[in-house]
Amino acid sequence: MRTVAIIGDSKGIGLALREQLLAQGNRVIGVSRTGAQATGEYTGLVFDAVAHPCDLSSFTDRLDGLVYCPGTISLKPVRGVKPELMMEDFKVNAVGFLHSVQANLKLLKAAAAQPLGGAPSVVGFSTVAVQTGMGFHASIAAAKGAVEGLVRTMAAEFAPDIRVNAVAPSLTDTPLAASLLSSDAKREASAERHPLKRVASATDVAAMAGFLLSPGASAITGQVMQVDNGMSAVR
């Protein structure tokens, strides 16, 4: 049985991914500040993995997958971006991701020594706004750009034993984005900005993360997969 840790699994994309992985017969270790409960092979931990690295070696002797979900949506014009905002976005999105991988690298290497269905996999989250310039996204695009840089660096350092990739969604229907989708008018306007004329669900994005964790993605590392209803590529 493969063991996957999800940092930030209590809601949104992390919750959707947890449900998918458990349904597929994986063991899941979930880490969140509020905690979560689920049936099946699930261990839920209450811990602030952004503030402190979360070493999971007390709960497992291997990790076949590690997913870091915490993120922010800070939308301000360039003239209004303060250093404090930049630092907080960088801490939550990039530093937390780095620390989570560092804290559990031995567990990932242990899984690489005795692989179950392919090399262990790390998945982080970026945003469409890194590769597609978008107004009011200076702070979050900078922080997620750092995530993409970390993904490629980790992929280079850890190959061939551990794969590292990221998923880059556009605005997704999650609690984090609730204020941006709080009315039918806002939801319709967001859908209209996408070539596929829809807003992605947490399940849509989680499905890509689940694929990157799976043996089916054995040939993929160092990549940022766009799950954005065509926003980054289609006009």
Q: What is the pTM of this model?
A: 0.95
Q: Which of 26, 29, 27 is nearest to 7 (CA)?
A: 29
Determine the topology of domain 3-227 in CATH: Rossmann fold (3.40.50)
Q: How many CA atoms lie within 13 A of 143 on its CB side?
A: 27
**How many other CB atoms sit within 10 Å of the CB of residue 83?**
8
Q: What is the pLDDT of residue 117?
A: 87
Q: pLDDT tens digit string along 125-178? A: 999 999 999 999 999 999 999 999 999 999 999 999 999 999 999 999 898 888
Q: Which of 126, 130, 140, 113 is nearest to 232 (CA)?
A: 130
Share of the chain above pLDDT 70, in %: 100
Q: pLDDT tens digit string along 83-134? A: 999 999 999 999 999 999 999 999 999 999 999 989 999 999 999 999 999 9
